[in-house]
């Protein structure tokens, strides 16, 4: 693997810091930025026999590990819900997410090896999220001694690799089920279609990516007239500040619920009403003259 000469020193520093279990140098951001742009084919090769995908158990649990979801999916209205049923259902949900490569909860796992002149190595690890029309979004996870340590770090944060399904215990599933870690989604975006207000909650770090102009895809489930629907929110679609929300149901009925700009939507930050302009200013970004236009 050839990296630019200007980054060789950074690479050597990372290897040294990992070996000595010290804090990574601030300049590592230059190295990761290169892999996420010019070095993309090295990070995500076209053919990679060692590629894995992982399911985000925290996220999946917050969406599906609820008795109400189980009862609705398995038609158990008149039957008691036992731990045995919960575990069986959860394992089916996990297997289905991995089999279908559900990009809502299953990022792909990638790593690159750094090597110095002495033959010493370190691993840089990423999760790559699929954001629909927004494309692939790499999320750097850190530097590690080897792939095993990278994968162990993912497991410690409740990411389950496709090859590790057999290691997931019933106890972990039930812990997630009974106490699914509630995602901190203090940002709430609201738009209206079909005479109803539809919401897309998200974490501040996700909202920051949107504010910075990066394409982001979010999927939210909702019910309308007793039927289950899925809304696909596409932020910065085609242009910074644009928002498109598509909807669909299990019978392939689909349409566009909203198509406009973020200056037209209701934004709440920790329950306080905000605006697209206010959010740009708060994050230290310039407000474009055409912030309220849609093209």
What is the pLDDT confidence band of residue 45, given thresholds at 50, 70 and 90? confident
Q: Cα(67)–Cα(76) distance, rounded to whole angstroms?
A: 10
Q: Cα(190)–Cα(274) distance, rounded to whole angstroms?
A: 12
Out of 145-159, 175-189, 260-274, least confident range: 175-189
pLDDT digits (tens, 9 = 90+) for 208-240: 889 888 888 888 888 888 788 888 999 988 888
- Higher-pLDDT residue of 120 and 73 is 120
Domain boundaries, the chain: 1-182, 187-282
Most confident of 55-59, 68-72, 79-83, 251-255: 55-59
Q: Cα(223)–Cα(295) distance, rounded to whole angstroms?
A: 30
- Compute the average pLDDT of residues 20-24: 91
Q: Write down the pLDDT at residue 54.
A: 94
Out of 71-85, 185-199, 279-293, least confident range: 279-293
**Residue 172 pLDDT > 90:** yes
Q: Cα(55)–Cα(247) distance, rounded to whole angstroms?
A: 24
Q: Write down the pLDDT at residue 294.
A: 45
Neighbours of 197 (CB within 10 A): 10
**Residue 167 pLDDT > 80:** yes
- Compute the average pLDDT of residues 16-39: 93
**Residue 59 pLDDT > 80:** yes
Q: Write down the pLDDT at residue 293.
A: 47
- Compute the average pLDDT of residues 10-17: 96
**Residue 292 pLDDT > 80:** no
Mean of per-residue pLDDT scores for the chain: 87
**In the 8-state DSSP scheme, what is residue 226?**
T
Out of 16-20, 244-248, 249-253, 280-284, least confident range: 249-253
Out of 109-123, 241-255, 264-278, 279-293, least confident range: 279-293
Instruction: Note whether 192 and 224 are within 8 A (CB).
Output: no
Q: Write down the pLDDT at residue 180.
A: 53
Q: Write down the pLDDT at residue 78.
A: 67
pLDDT digits (tens, 9 = 90+) for 276-287: 988 888 888 877
Q: Write down the pLDDT at residue 49.
A: 66
**Residue 252 pLDDT > 80:** no
Over the range 11-33, which residues count as b (16 or more CB within 10 Å of their CB) and which as e? bbbbbebbeeeeebbeebeebbe
């Amino acid at each position: 693997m050839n990296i630019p000469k200007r980054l060789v020193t950074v690479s050597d520093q990372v290897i040294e810091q990992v070996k000595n279990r010290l804090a990574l140098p601030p300049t590592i951001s230059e190295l990761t930025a290169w892999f996420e742009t010019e070095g993309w084919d090295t990070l995500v090769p076209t053919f990679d026999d060692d590629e894995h995908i992982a399911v985000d158990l925290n996220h999946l649990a917050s969406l599906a590990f609820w008795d109400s979801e189980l009862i609705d999916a398995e038609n158990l209205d008149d039957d008691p819900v036992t731990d045995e049923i919960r575990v069986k259902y959860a394992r089916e949900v996990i297997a289905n997410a991995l089999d279908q490569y559900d990009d809502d909860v299953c990022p792909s796992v990638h790593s690159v090896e750094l090597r110095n002149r002495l033959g010493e190595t370190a691993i840089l690890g990423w999760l790559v999220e699929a954001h629909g029309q927004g494309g692939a979004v790499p999320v750097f996870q850190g530097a590690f001694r080897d792939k095993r340590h990278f994968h162990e770090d993912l497991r410690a944060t409740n990411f389950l690799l496709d090859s590790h399904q057999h290691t997931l215990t019933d106890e972990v599933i039930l812990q997630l089920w009974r106490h699914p870690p509630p995602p901190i989604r203090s940002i709430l975006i609201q738009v209206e279609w079909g005479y109803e207000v539809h919401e897309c909650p998200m974490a501040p770090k996700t909202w920051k990516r949107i504010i910075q102009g990066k394409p982001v895809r979010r999927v939210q489930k909702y019910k309308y007239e007793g039927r289950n629907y899925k809304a696909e929110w596409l932020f910065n679609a085609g242009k910074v500040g644009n928002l498109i929300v598509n909807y669909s149901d299990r019978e392939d009925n689909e349409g566009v619920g909203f198509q406009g700009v973020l200056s037209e939507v209701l934004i709440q930050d920790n329950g306080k009403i905000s605006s697209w302009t206010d959010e740009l200013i708060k994050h230290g970004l310039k407000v474009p003259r055409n912030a309220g236009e849609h093209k």
